[in-house]
Amino acid sequence: MTVCDFSSGRPDPESFPVAELVGAATRRLTAEGSDLVQYPDPQGYAPLRRLAAERFEEREGVGLDPDSFLLGTGSTQPLALLSEALARPGDAIITEEFSYTGALSLFRRYGLETVGVATDDEGLRLDALEETLDRLDADGRPAKFVYAIPTYQNPTGAILSLERRRELLDLVRRRGVPLVEDNCYADLHFEAGRPPASIRALPGGEDVIYVASWSKILGPGARLGYVSAGPELIERLMSLKSDAGTSNLSAMIVTEFMLQHRREHTAELCRVLKRKRDILLESLEDQLGDLCSWTSPSGGMFVWVKLPDEIDNAALARAAEREGVLYHPGRNFDSGERDIPYLRLAFGFPSDEALRRGTEHLARAIRAAIPAGAVG
């Protein structure tokens, strides 16, 4: 029996806006439902592209052309298209040392070598990035693009400082390396002081390839994301997109819902996430404060836990299964696929009580997976 599912980034099911979505579907389908007999616009439902541009301008203060957006199935499809458009099998691409497992798996499926760059509490280290670019150039296999999550990084929750964002933008421009900015978590903000501007919104950021999603503020089941880029790249991505268009049915409903409820729903979601984060952090301190360390994110939906170096990860997986706890092990996020002593806990989906009980069961599993006498 599953006691707690810490495994994936999903929002709270109890506060999911079912009634509001039913109303949105009724209104939009009454007005436009007959259009579903047509194939979708190759770039995606135009009202949702306009809304994506408005969302960016509202948050970042910079206007983008709706025609610079291409809708996709979640943010994963845009990343898949970019992998095919910007690189070939065997090419090297750069990610943060620890990065989104879905992106890493996708890049590897396309035959790309993921080269990780060291991070610290503020995210990507620019000195390490430049050294990595130099090394790849010297090896005759220059990086085809840099993939980064500067805001509420997955899995660490780190926020790249404004100074580093400017330095990163300057570095990739000088080196002529495309930068893919994944900004899927930027709306999930629940502490005072908003994160710095998107790199795409900075002066000189016009060539940054911007990826985001509606899934994090609604739910993964929506499967609607997007990429914004220059016209030539958008044309290239459209030529590679072979699904006959992103679902207009989903896009219609999400558009209507977001027009009517986006602000209040996002605010409520962030309130719930903050409460759950606080419960998880308190429970970790009670159960594992003498043994582990972890991040305290100001946004997003993940806590990154550092385990004792002596941990037996295989034994931990077996013990966690017995305890009814699901989680993602650190190796899933490691750019080099190392079996590292970390794990990620997603706190959006479990109930408050499941978070408390799950942490207790996880703590038992962790303690059982440490060899006798290994920790003083």
- Domain spanning 4-14+265-368: CATH 3.90.1150.10: yes
Q: Where in the chain is the domain with CATH 3.40.640.10?
A: 18-261
> Across 156-234, where does the E strand assignment appear?
179-182, 209-213, 225-228
pLDDT 10s digits, 210-226? 999 988 888 777 789 99
**pLDDT for res 374:** 67
Split the chain (376 residues) into runs of 10 and give each run's mean pLDDT: 91 88 90 79 92 92 95 91 97 97 96 96 93 97 97 95 97 97 92 89 97 85 89 95 83 91 92 97 97 96 97 96 97 95 97 97 96 68
Rounded to whole angstroms, how far apart are CA atoms 126 and 134? 12
Domain covering 18-261 in this structure, CATH number: 3.40.640.10
pLDDT 10s digits, 259-310? 999 899 999 999 999 999 999 999 999 999 999 999 999 999 999 999 999 9
Find all residues with CB under 8 Å of 289, minimum gap 6, and list them: none
Find all residues with CB under 8 Å of 285, minimum gap 6, and list them: none
Main-chain phi, psi angles of 50, to 5 degrees? -65, -40
**pLDDT for res 96:** 97
Number of neighbours of residue 368 by Cβ within 10 angstroms: 15
SS3 209: strand
Q: Where in the chain is the domain with CATH 3.90.1150.10?
A: 4-14+265-368
Question: Do residues 325 and 365 lie in contact, with contact meaning Cβ atoms separated by under 8 Å?
Answer: yes
Instruction: Please give the model's pTM, rounded to 2 decimal places.
Output: 0.94
